[in-house]
């Protein structure tokens, strides 16, 4: 499962890049608050069963937030994408919709993965705790900074506040540092460009039982 919301030059995802990530071995792609940065992704999401966007966007949005894919060994894996409410422009609270979606996911698969695309660690910890024992893993994305709190919760749900960023780490969360700093210092509009240096792959590896209960979560960090 790959969060792909900023694959297209640092903003959004195009159908061509989605196809490339899937061809490279990703089983499901998730998205986030930058989902609509590339208009052409809308029609693609209407027909794709491998690319999901946050489930709690405007109800008229194209695409969906839950899908079921098969792992390499044939195991059904449900993937649910949600977006946080705190410090983000999100039309529907994730807590308003999560229970029903988790029920739907569990009816379809024993292994359920949640990508919670959110800004605040408090909200991520709260959602993971609320879902403990009902899903296999709650993996945070969006902040681009890998957090040091990967853990198995008492009910058997793996959780981490943020899986980190695959991209240039010699940057301000992927943006050329001087541009990000200039915008913050001057408050003037500055066009962001992706940085290039110190590319790393970051993520998490979760191990679970056939019943979908997690027993290990490991932070992954690989320098190019």
Q: Which residues bind Fe ion (CB under 5 A)?
A: 32-33, 142
Between 41 and 111, name the residue whose CB sits nearer to Fe ion: 41
Which residue's CB is nearer to Fe ion, number 83 or number 156? 83
Q: Which residue is nearest to Fe ion (CB)?
A: 32
Query: Least Å distance between CB 71 and Fe ion?
Result: 26
Q: Is 34 a catalytic residue?
A: yes
- What is the rounded distance in angstroms from the CA atom of residue 80 to the CA atom of residue 95? 13
Return the SS3 of 173.
coil
- Beta-carbon contacts of residue 127 (< 8 Å; ≥ 6 apart): 82, 94, 95, 98, 114, 116, 118, 138
| Nearest approach, Cβ of residue 163 and Fe ion (Å) | 12
Which stretches does DSSP call E strand in the chain? 2-3, 29-30, 66-70, 76-83, 111-117, 137-141, 151-152, 158-160, 167-168, 199-208, 214-223
Residue 4 burial (CB < 10 Å; 0-12/13-18/19+)?
buried
Tell me how far, at minimum, the Cβ of 25 lies from Fe ion, in Å. 23
- What is the closest distance, in whole angstroms, from the C-beta atom of residue 6 to Fe ion in the complex? 7
- CA nearest neighbour of 206 among 144, 145, 135: 135
Between 33 and 146, CB nearer to Fe ion: 33
In a 3-state reduction of DSSP, which class is residue 82?
Answer: strand
When the beta carbons of 139 and 208 are compared against Fe ion, the nearer one is 139
Which residue numbers are catalytic?
34
């Amino acid at each position: 499962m790959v969060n792909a919301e900023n694959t297209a030059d640092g903003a959004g995802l195009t159908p061509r890049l989605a196809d490339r990530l899937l061809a490279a071995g990703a089983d499901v792609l998730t998205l986030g608050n930058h989902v609509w940065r590339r208009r052409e992704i809308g029609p693609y999401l209407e027909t794709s069963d491998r690319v999901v966007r946050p489930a709690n966007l405007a109800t008229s949005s194209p695409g969906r937030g839950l899908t079921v894919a098969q792992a390499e060994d044939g195991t059904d894996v449900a993937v649910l994408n949600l977006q946080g409410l705190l410090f983000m422009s999100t039309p529907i609270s994730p807590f308003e919709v999560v229970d029903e979606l988790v029920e739907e996911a569990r009816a379809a698969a024993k292994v359920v993965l949640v990508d919670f695309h959110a800004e605040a660690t408090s909200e991520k910890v709260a959602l993971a705790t609320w879902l403990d024992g009902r899903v296999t893993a709650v993996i945070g994305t969006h902040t681009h900074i890998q957090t040091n709190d990967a853990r198995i919760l008492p009910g058997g749900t793996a959780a981490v506040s943020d899986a980190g960023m695959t991209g240039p780490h010699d940057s301000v969360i992927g943006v050329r540092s001087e541009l990000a700093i200039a915008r913050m210092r001057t408050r003037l509009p500055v066009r962001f460009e992706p940085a290039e240096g110190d590319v790393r792959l970051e993520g998490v590896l979760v191990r679970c039982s056939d019943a979908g209960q997690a027993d290990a979560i490991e932070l992954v960090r690989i320098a190019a």
